[in-house]
């Protein structure tokens, strides 16, 4: 028992000496009369004493009730020359081989829990970790080996005298071998049934990585092993007489690599649990070498093939996990082509054959008879098919990548050629990241795994496709996804007829595809991976003249209208393809060095959010895509305190024909800070015949925010004779002050379902516009606009005028009739802080001139006059 020590500097040597005496006695004595439940207390007191080196040291006497039974705990340390190995394994494969081998070599084996029991059952003598730490496993196994008696023995450098003296002073022995593998976190969180969050946390190993890292750091003196396949090499090394530092370093590298891969899995899993973005701030990709390759893309390049061990790739299928059933080893180019073929054929639900050459599908066909599919695929381009990769999406019994083979099929294929490579692969999973290396970094994107069911095929031409034409367009679209850009595919009746790929312009790709398709092009479907920048006397017109029946392309060119008109002239159906979801964008504007600057810009549109040139003052201008392609688009703006931002479009926003009840939708939300100015001055919306369009704009302001909104639309494409022929137009503009207090709520709704059609209600007017001016910065402009509109309309109602394009008409009695341009103006909001102007005109040009004239006073704020 220990008494209370005096707290004075003079007593320190005595206390230290007493502590060392107790330690030595404790290491050589069995306390049969002590209670084992209190053994840790004694150990704790004893270590407390041994580590103190300052003046005020005190210990508490232990009562007889605090004594412990230590018959199960015999603190040990290895004497000089005594060799120790530490083993702690979750995966106990080949443990008996390892334990017996080390014991035969004279090693004392120290082990934990289940590993110790397994060794004892195999007849191997074991010292349990508790006998070294004087501490039982605790906290449900979270704490077992995190103790100086363990880590001191691993980390001590044998060539440092003071390290060895410290171990001797504290009675700690050294470890020469550490063999550890980790909790099966990877297997647990990727199990088919999934895993609860708390269970996932409990499967994160702490003690294991700590021991592995410690041993790997001190690999000069400690051999560390993390893979069971290294057990034989370890035992052979220990039998030798020479110390090979390269062997030690290789084991240490494997240890750190193992920990890094483990930590990346934990990080990947935890990031997903946070609900964070698909693209984390930092991304670690654990790769494992599968094979060294004979050479790379060219004979002089060395190459290797690595398997992605990310959690997202578990059971994900693909070429990396394919089983090679026959043939010589795969080359770098073989893998590229096999991957391209497998990715393409996996797109199709019906039995399909794909032939690939240099990563491009040169033949694709679907048929209930897989042999017929193969013949049709070869027929598409028999020259390119020679020496290509053949892939099937169903089991093959007599025909060279497939999901499965019958024994007969393999037997037949084995006889074809000794070098024929036969791969059996699992279908790729959806939703993975696609990575591509560039100089100094990697590009990451969603994998292109959309199906026709995920896509809107929006009809933008006058001619709607027949059901069979739509099926051909979908087939061609699936094929063109896997052809290198610029890519064109021509298909008919579930068969690729021709393909053009990798050309610097789509016209050349089209001509190649047409040449391969030959006379079968009549009535076929054409798919392009990109929009057509030109139509007349270019790809679209040549395709129409060749006899193509339907064209599918993404749209997004500033000349999309030309493509529509060209297809209408030749009676060809034109489809624009877009993913069915609300695409979201975000723009944040803040002051940077006194200038309004976009500090964050995010968009998922095909067209980005480019900077609009011409603004030389501090305002920040952003131009949005001018095309609504039958999809849903949402963008959020944050305009920081004191900033000025201008939002405009590159040209008129065109809303193409809707298919069925589909409605194009655009949502704009903006928060405008204190003293900030946000100016929204787009070109007009033009809805094509049968189009359906809905727009909602919500602006949140504070007391001194300022805002300009121009919202206007036309009757349609005048040059095509369209006049209010769209099905639906809805536009809402809402302004909310602090506390969600409504300041301005306005909705315009035009719908053909009304008893009177839109054209009749609109009379001769071709353009409707609303101008909203709000906030303290714009008070002088509000006053000027109100005066201008009042004077303008007074003149209009009294004297016929041609100003601003206004040609008032009179009847035979010389009475004024409906003017060509009409406007009204009224104030709104608290203390009349806002002004709204509504305009109707027979011409678009007149509205442009009106807007330019009324908003000219904003030039000092923006650096340029709007609509100039």
Cβ atoms 99, 77 nearer than 8 A: no
- Class (C level, CATH) for 84-273: alpha beta
**C-alpha pair distances (Å), 540 with each of 482, 552, 562:** 21, 11, 9
Burial class of residue 146 (count of CB atoms within 10 Å of its CB; 0-12, 13-18, 19+): middle
- The answer to which of 88-97, 228-237, 340-349, 401-410 has the lowest mean pLDDT is 401-410
pLDDT (average), residues 17-45:
37
Question: 3-state class of 457 per DSSP?
Answer: strand
Q: Is the pLDDT confidence value at 538 over 60?
A: yes
What's residue 17's pLDDT?
Answer: 43
- Which of 47, 83, 217, 779 is catalytic? The answer is 217
Q: Judge whether 84-273 and 287-432 match in fold.
A: no
Nearest to 672 by CA among 715, 634, 708, 624: 708
- Which of 188, 250, 272, 358 is catalytic? The answer is 358
Q: Is the pLDDT confidence value at 785 over 70?
A: yes
What's residue 228's pLDDT?
Answer: 87
Between 782 and 371, where is the model more confident?
Answer: 782
DSSP state of 537: T
| CA 467 remoteness from chain centre | 35
Note if 358 is an active site residue: yes
What's residue 256's pLDDT?
Answer: 87
d(CA 850, CA 847): 5
Note if 579 is an active site residue: no
- Out of 147-151, 431-435, 562-566, the most confident range is 562-566
pLDDT (average), residues 249-268:
85
Burial class of residue 581 (count of CB atoms within 10 Å of its CB; 0-12, 13-18, 19+): exposed
What's residue 210's pLDDT?
Answer: 85
What's residue 546's pLDDT?
Answer: 92
Cβ atoms 240, 207 nearer than 8 A: no
d(CA 178, CA 156): 14
Tell me the domain boundaries of the chain: 9-66, 84-273, 287-432, 452-577, 582-862
What's residue 14's pLDDT?
Answer: 37
Cβ atoms 252, 224 nearer than 8 A: yes
* Residue 528 bridge partners (DSSP): 488
How would DSSP label each residue in 491-524? EETTEEEEEE-S-SSHHHHHHHHHHHHGGGGTT-
Residue 191 has a CB neighbour count (10 Å cut-off) of: 11
Q: Given pLDDT bands bounded at 50, 70 and 90, which one contains residue 397?
A: low
Question: 3-state class of 585 per DSSP?
Answer: strand
| In 317-432, beta strands by DSSP E | 323-326, 352-357, 360-366, 389-392, 401-402, 422-424
The length of the chain is: 868
What's residue 411's pLDDT?
Answer: 61
Q: Is the pLDDT confidence value at 674 over 90?
A: yes
Q: Which residues contact 220 (CB under 8 A, 6 or more apart)?
A: 157, 245, 248
Cβ atoms 657, 691 nearer than 8 A: yes
Specify the fold of 452-577.
Answer: Cytidine Deaminase; domain 2 (3.40.140)
What's residue 209's pLDDT?
Answer: 86
d(CA 339, CA 67): 69
* Residue 496 bridge partners (DSSP): 491
Burial class of residue 643 (count of CB atoms within 10 Å of its CB; 0-12, 13-18, 19+): buried
User: CATH homologous superfamily for 287-432?
Assistant: AICAR transformylase, duplication domain (3.40.140.20)
| In 281-368, beta strands by DSSP E | 287-293, 303-308, 323-326, 352-357, 360-366
The pLDDT tens digits for 359-390 are: 888 889 999 888 888 889 888 888 888 877 88
d(CA 314, CA 265): 11
Whole-structure pTM value: 0.48
Q: Which residues contact 613 (CB under 8 A, 6 or more apart)?
A: none
d(CA 59, CA 868): 88
């Amino acid at each position: 028992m220990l008494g209370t020590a005096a707290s004075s500097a003079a007593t320190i040597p005595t206390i230290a000496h007493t502590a060392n005496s107790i330690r030595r006695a404790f290491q050589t004595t069995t306390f049969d009369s002590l209670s084992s439940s209190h053994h840790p207390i004694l150990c704790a007191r004893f270590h407390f004493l041994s580590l103190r080196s300052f003046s005020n040291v005190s210990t508490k006497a232990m009562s007889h009730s605090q004594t412990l039974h230590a018959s199960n705990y015999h603190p040990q340390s290895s004497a000089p020359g005594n060799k120790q190995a530490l083993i702690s394994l979750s995966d106990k494969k080949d443990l008996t081989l390892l334990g017996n081998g080390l014991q035969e070599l004279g090693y004392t084996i120290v082990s934990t829990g289940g590993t110790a029991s397994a060794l004892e059952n195999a007849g191997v003598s074991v010292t349990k970790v508790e006998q070294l730490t004087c501490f039982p496993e605790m906290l449900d196994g979270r704490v077992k080996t995190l103790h100086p008696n363990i880590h001191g023995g691993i980390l001590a450098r044998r060539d440092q005298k003071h390290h060895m003296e410290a171990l001797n002073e504290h009675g700690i022995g050294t470890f020469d071998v550490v063999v550890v593998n980790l909790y099966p976190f990877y297997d647990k969180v990727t199990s088919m049934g999934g895993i609860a969050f708390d269970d996932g946390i409990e499967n994160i190993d702490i003690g294991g990585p700590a021991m592995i890292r410690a041993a790997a750091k001190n690999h000069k003196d400690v051999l560390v092993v993390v893979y069971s396949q290294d057990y034989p090499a370890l035992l052979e090394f220990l039998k030798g007489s020479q110390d090979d530092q390269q062997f030690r370093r290789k084991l240490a590298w494997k240890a750190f690599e193992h920990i890094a891969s483990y930590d990346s899995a934990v990080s990947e899993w935890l990031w997903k649990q946070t609900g964070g973005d698909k693209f984390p701030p930092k991304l670690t990709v654990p790769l494992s070498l599968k094979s060294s390759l004979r050479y790379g893309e060219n004979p002089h390049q060395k190459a290797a093939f690595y398997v992605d061990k990310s959690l997202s790739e578990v059971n994900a299928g693909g070429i990396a996990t394919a089983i090679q059933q026959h043939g010589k080893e795969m080359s770098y180019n073989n893998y590229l082509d096999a991957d391209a073929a497998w990715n393409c054929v996996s797109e199709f639900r019906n039995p399909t054959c794909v032939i690939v050459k240099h990563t491009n599908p040169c033949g694709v066909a679907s048929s209930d008879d897989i042999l017929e599919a193969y013949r049709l695929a070869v027929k598409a381009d028999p020259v390119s098919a020679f020496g290509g990769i053949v892939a099937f999406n169903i089991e093959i019994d007599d025909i060279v990548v497939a999901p499965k083979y019958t024994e007969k099929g393999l037997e037949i294929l084995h006889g074809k050629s000794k070098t024929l490579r036969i791969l059996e692969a699992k279908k790729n999973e959806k939703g993975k990241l696609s990575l591509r290396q560039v100089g100094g970094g990697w590009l990451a994107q969603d994998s292109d795994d959309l199906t026709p069911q995920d896509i809107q095929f929006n009809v933008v031409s006058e001619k709607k496709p027949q059901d069979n034409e739509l099926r051909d367009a979908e087939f061609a679209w699936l094929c063109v996804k896997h052809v290198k850009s610029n890519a064109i595919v021509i298909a008919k009746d579930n068969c690729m007829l021709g393909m053009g790929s990798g050309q610097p312009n789509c016209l050349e790709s089209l001509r190649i595809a047409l040449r391969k398709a030959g006379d079968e092009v009549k009535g076929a479907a054409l798919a392009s991976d990109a929009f057509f920048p030109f139509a007349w006397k270019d790809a679209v017109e040549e395709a129409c003249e060749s006899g193509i029946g339907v064209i599918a392309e993404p749209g997004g060119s500033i000349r999309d209208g030309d493509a529509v008109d060209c297809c209408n002239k030749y009676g060809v159906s034109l489809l624009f393809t877009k993913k069915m979801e609300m695409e979201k964008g975000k723009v944040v504007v803040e002051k940077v060095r006194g200038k309004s600057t976009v500090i964050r810009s995010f968009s998922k549109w095909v067209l980005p959010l480019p900077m609009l040139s011409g603004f030389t003052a501090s305002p920040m201008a952003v131009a949005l895509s001018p095309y609504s392609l039958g999809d849903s688009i949402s963008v959020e703006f944050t305009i920081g305190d004191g900033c000025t931002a201008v939002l405009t479009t590159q040209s008129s926003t065109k809303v193409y024909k809707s298919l069925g009840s589909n409605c194009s939708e655009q949502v704009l939300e903006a928060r405008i800070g204190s003293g900030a100015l946000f100016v929204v001055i787009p070109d007009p919306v033009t809805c094509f015949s049968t189009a359906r369009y809905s727009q909602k704009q919500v602006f949140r302001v504070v007391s001194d925010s300022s805002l300009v909104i121009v919202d206007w639309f036309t009757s349609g494409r005048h040059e095509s004779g369209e006049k209010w022929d769209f099905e639906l137009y809805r536009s809402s503009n809402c302004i909310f002050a602090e506390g969600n207090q409504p300041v301005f709520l306005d909705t315009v709704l035009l719908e053909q379902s009304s008893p009177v059609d839109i054209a009749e209600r609109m009379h001769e007017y071709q353009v409707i516009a609303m101008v909203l001016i709000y906030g303290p910065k714009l008070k002088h402009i509000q006053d000027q606009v109100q005066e201008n509109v009042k004077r303008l309309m007074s003149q209009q109602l009294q004297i016929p005028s041609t100003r601003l394009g206004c040609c008032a008409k009179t009847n035979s009695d010389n009475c004024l009739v409906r003017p060509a341009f009409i406007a009204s103006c009224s104030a709104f909001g608290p203390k009349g802080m806002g002004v709204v102007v509504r305009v109707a005109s027979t011409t678009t040009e007149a509205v442009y001139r009106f807007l330019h004239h009324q908003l000219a006073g904003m030039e000092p704020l923006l650096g340029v006059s709007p609509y100039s």
